Amino acid sequence: MLVPQLLLETLEDLGDADFTKFKFYLGVKIFADRVPIAKSRLESAHRHDAVSEMMAVHGADGAVAVTVAVLKMMKINSVAEELEKTYTGASYTCNLCCEHCFAEERILIG
């Protein structure tokens, strides 16, 4: 499955309130090693627009890693774990969403 399709299906599992919160996290500097997406690009974005923005800013592996991390921050662990399980990117390792990231201050806010 292509990464954009996988991310879109993942975001379609979120209700509207959760998707709005997800977009908020994409637009703020929460990861020390990731650039936030401009808020103006997200405020009226639909799910497919958010996927396009994440792919453009973070690339395939990065978009998956950010999605997993944000979902875990939002405590939507079942959706995050399903995405991790389904994604088979060769160079993918989610080093953003582990509990030790909070202790190491890799995530700036939570």
Does the residue 60 lie in any domain? Answer: yes
Is there a contact between 63 and 39 (Cβ–Cβ < 8 Å)? Answer: no
Q: Taking the chain (110 residues) in consecutive chunks of 10 residues, what is each chunk's mean pLDDT? A: 93 97 93 90 96 95 94 95 80 46 41
Does the residue 55 lie in any domain? Answer: yes
Phi-psi region of 53 (alpha: psi -120 to 50; beta: other; left: phi over 0): alpha
Does the residue 68 lie in any domain? Answer: yes
Does the residue 109 lie in any domain? Answer: no
Does the residue 92 lie in any domain? Answer: yes
pLDDT of residue 89: 54
Overall domain count for the chain: 1
Does the residue 27 lie in any domain? Answer: yes
pLDDT of residue 37: 95
* Cα end-to-end span (Å), the chain: 31
Quick one: how many helices (H) and strands (E) in the chain?
6, 0
pLDDT of residue 107: 43
CATH classification of the domain holding 33 = 1.10.533.10
Domain holding 40, by residue range, is 3-103
